[in-house]
Amino acid sequence: MPSYSTTETAHKWGCNAKWVRARCFEGMIPLAEKPKHFWTIPEEAEMPPCTGTEATIILENLIEKLNGKEVVVFPSTMKGKEPKILSYLSNWGFITLSEPNDGSNEVYVLSRGLQLVSKIRKKEVEEITKSFRITAGASVGPVSLSAEYAVEKKTA
């Protein structure tokens, strides 16, 4: 599978190479690798619809909502981008969405999402998940299948 530099990817996506490098560093482009000094991005990688900080805000809000707090998951600054962001986070294994036909309409944050929050906020995953139970699950991305963990609210 062909890989491209951040400059080539930026040209392909119509953005700045510095922006692409920042998303690679954050972990928002899960397939990006840095084998030595430069990032390589596979052809299959998609342009993230948001920054790592924006995704972290959404993920933290989802975690708070799972914890029973009334929060608005998407800040007003992201109005109109909600479906695209949720789709990206789901497709690349940051979150998992329950099946619409099972009636629960739940969103679970997976380990990749917890790692992003941990990296951006410089918090330990244990601190983020102290009020949650981690249960085994699976994540299927457009390119790979990997073992992940779902996060759900602890019950008494």
Hey, where are the domains in the chain?
3-42, 52-153
Check whether 133 has a pLDDT greater than 60.
no
| CA gap 101, 137 in Å, rounded | 19
pLDDT at residue 138, rounded to an integer: 42
Burial 111-144 (b: 16+ CB within 10 A, else e): bbbbebbbebeeeebeebbeebeeeeeebebeee
pLDDT for residue 130: 57
Q: Between 153 and 63, where is the model more confident?
A: 63
User: Region 99-126: what's the mean pLDDT?
Assistant: 72
- For residue 94, pLDDT over 60 is answered with yes
